[in-house]
Amino acid sequence: MLLILADLLSPQELQTARQLLRSARWDDGKDSAGTQARQAKNNQQLPRDSEAGRRIAAMVLAALERSALFLTATLPKRVFPPRVNRYGGEHNHYGDHVDSAVRQLADRHDRLRTDISCTVFLSPPDEYDGGELCIDDTFGPQRVKLPAGHAVIYPGTSVHQVRPVTRGYRMACFFWVESLVRSAEQRRLLYDMDMALLRLRQQHGESPETVALTGSYHNLLRMWADT
């Protein structure tokens, strides 16, 4: 499932992030890629321990917590600490690759399975040419280039690339989610059910039927969730 989270960041948060990025120092992005991905990757990233990187990561995590759409679509168990990258100049693209299935969490002796990938766009699309996130999956090839503050989530299993940026700079925040529900098929069913319940409640209010269906939702989640 590919889903857009419109206005994940507020205008104020976006402004703060962009201010932090104005004086940021960038490292080569190859440090966090696996062997195959390293050959395709040519971008820059904020160092993990930088002030700007830490503050933007905290801001994005807080925004995810208040996004009902993010929570119902991903059913997050754990979120990889968000990183910030930049495409432009000599470091302007990331060719076709699949993200590593398992990632080490930097400061913990712990690992995370990358069920879902997420990109939060930090640069307005009129500031750069190219830079589309192209995702190839069962839903057919998709080209994603969103307003600043919007995010996209897509399956971690997808082959994807970032097209060369030929003018300006494209900055974004990226991270992965390990879901309580490992199967994309089961996650999709729960998402559809939750959204239908939301609309039912909006149209008709609470009823014995919505209570019963909400019970079924939670019982399916109980059956499938791995906490």
Q: Which residues bind Ni ion (CB under 5 A)?
A: 99
CB proximity list for 200: less than 8 A, separation 6 or greater = 209, 210, 213
Nearer to Ni ion, 153 or 190 (CB): 153
- Least separation, in Å, of the C-beta of 116 and Ni ion? 12
- Least separation, in Å, of the C-beta of 140 and Ni ion? 19
181, 190 contact by CB (below 8 A): yes
Closest-CA residue to 119 (of 96, 71, 86, 141): 86
58, 9 contact by CB (below 8 A): no
Nearer to Ni ion, 99 or 127 (CB): 99
Pairwise CA distance, residues 120 & 33, whole Å: 19
How wide is the angle at C-alpha 119 spanned by C-alphas 116 and 123, nearest 5°? 175
Nearer to Ni ion, 119 or 123 (CB): 119
Nearer to Ni ion, 43 or 123 (CB): 43
Describe the chain by its helix, strand, coil percentages, rounded to 5. Answer: 35, 30, 30
Nearer to Ni ion, 13 or 99 (CB): 99
- Least separation, in Å, of the C-beta of 193 and Ni ion? 30
User: E-strand spans in 34-75?
Assistant: 41-42, 44-45
- Least separation, in Å, of the C-beta of 132 and Ni ion? 14
- Least separation, in Å, of the C-beta of 152 and Ni ion? 12
Count helices and strands in the chain by DSSP H and E runs: 6, 17
- Least separation, in Å, of the C-beta of 135 and Ni ion? 10
Nearer to Ni ion, 61 or 159 (CB): 159
148, 123 contact by CB (below 8 A): yes
Using CB atoms, what's the residue nearest to Ni ion? 99
- Least separation, in Å, of the C-beta of 100 and Ni ion? 9
> Using CA atoms in the order 96, 100, 106, 108, what is the torsion angle rounded to 10 degrees?
160
Pairwise CA distance, residues 222 & 227, whole Å: 10
Nearer to Ni ion, 20 or 53 (CB): 53
